[in-house]
């Protein structure tokens, strides 16, 4: 394997303005891929693109609200227009709003379904034909679709009912899509982290955020770069290898 196993490949990463998405974009660029950075915060995207350029990589900022189907399609088309193809899609964009059903709002539930489920479906639907084409025409002879899930998709807890619903649904979608695309040489994988030090908890109410921070206070939380390493491992395997699912917990995490 070359020093840059993704040399010549094109990746699209959603939620790339911070956290796991930004770390993944940097890591894939380090492996040789050109990266389309998709998110809503243009200033953050420009900063990540600048960071990648300083390290000798190439990235383009694609400002888009992919909860809107047309904007998701535009984001994929923008990637193709500017970078020429699409070999890797990382569906990372998501939001976590934790509250008991009695004390939450329907708007919070709708926000999670809109970004965690609908946006993922929009971008995936737009990208799959191009991933299939890349798998049949690229030197790698394989393409990759990686969905960032959560341990909440395996084990539900109080206060996380709809968040768990979105992630368990993501897992089911990923497995079905994996089987559908086997013959097309598009590998479909799920990465399920827990206890990662990101901005995700910033969207919580003060009480819930404090409780979440107390829960992980006694452990060394995962870093975004740890999840980026896992995604990099998945997409840099030889075509004969498919990593279908990866569960990642902090080393001290008991739950």
Report the CATH fold assignment for 10-239: Rossmann fold (3.40.50)
Note the pLDDT of residue 203: 47
pLDDT digits (tens, 9 = 90+) for 145-183: 999 999 888 888 888 899 999 999 999 999 999 999 999
Note the pLDDT of residue 197: 74
Kindly name the residue from 163, 165, 178, 188 that is annotated as catalytic: 163
Nearest to 159 by CA among 114, 189, 201, 126: 201
Q: Which helix (H) or strand (E) holds 135?
A: helix 119-137
Known catalytic residue at 133: no
pLDDT digits (tens, 9 = 90+) for 39-90: 999 999 999 999 999 999 999 999 999 999 999 999 999 999 999 999 999 9
Asked whether the beta carbons of 97 and 104 are under 8 A apart, the reply is yes
| 3-state helix/strand/coil string of 11-57 | EEEECCCCHHHHHHHHHHHHCCCEEEEEECCHHHHHHHHHHHHHCCC
Is residue 27 pLDDT above 80, yes or no? yes
Q: Where are the domains of the chain?
A: 10-239
Asked whether the beta carbons of 86 and 140 are under 8 A apart, the reply is no
Q: Across residues 202-213, what is the average pLDDT?
A: 50
């Amino acid at each position: 394997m070359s020093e840059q196993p993704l040399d010549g490949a094109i990746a699209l990463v959603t939620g790339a303005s911070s956290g796991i998405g930004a770390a993944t974009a940097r890591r894939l660029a380090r492996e040789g891929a050109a990266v389309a950075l998709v998110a809503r915060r243009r200033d953050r995207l420009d900063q990540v693109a600048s960071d990648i350029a300083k390290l000798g990589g190439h990235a383009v900022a694609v400002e888009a609200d992919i909860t809107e189907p047309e904007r998701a399609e535009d984001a994929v088309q923008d990637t193709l227009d500017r970078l020429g193809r699409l070999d890797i899609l990382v569906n990372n964009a998501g939001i976590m709003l934790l509250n008991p059903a009695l004390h939450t709002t329907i708007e919070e539930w709708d926000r999670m379904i809109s970004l965690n489920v609908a946006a993922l479906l929009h971008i995936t639907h737009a990208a799959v034909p191009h991933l299939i084409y890349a798998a049949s025409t690229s030197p790698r002879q394989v393409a990759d679709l990686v969905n960032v899930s959560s341990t909440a998709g395996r084990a539900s807890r109080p206060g996380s009912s709809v968040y768990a619903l979105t992630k368990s649904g993501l897992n089911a979608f990923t497995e079905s899509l994996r089987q559908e695309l086997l013959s097309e040489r598009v590998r479909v994988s799920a990465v399920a982290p827990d206890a990662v030090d990101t901005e995700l908890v910033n969207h919580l109410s003060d009480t819930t955020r404090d409780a979440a921070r107390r829960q992980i206070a006694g452990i060394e939380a995962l870093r975004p770069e740890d999840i980026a390493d896992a995604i990099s491992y998945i997409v840099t395997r030889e075509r004969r290898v498919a990593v279908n699912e990866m569960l990642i917990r902090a080393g001290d995490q008991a739950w």
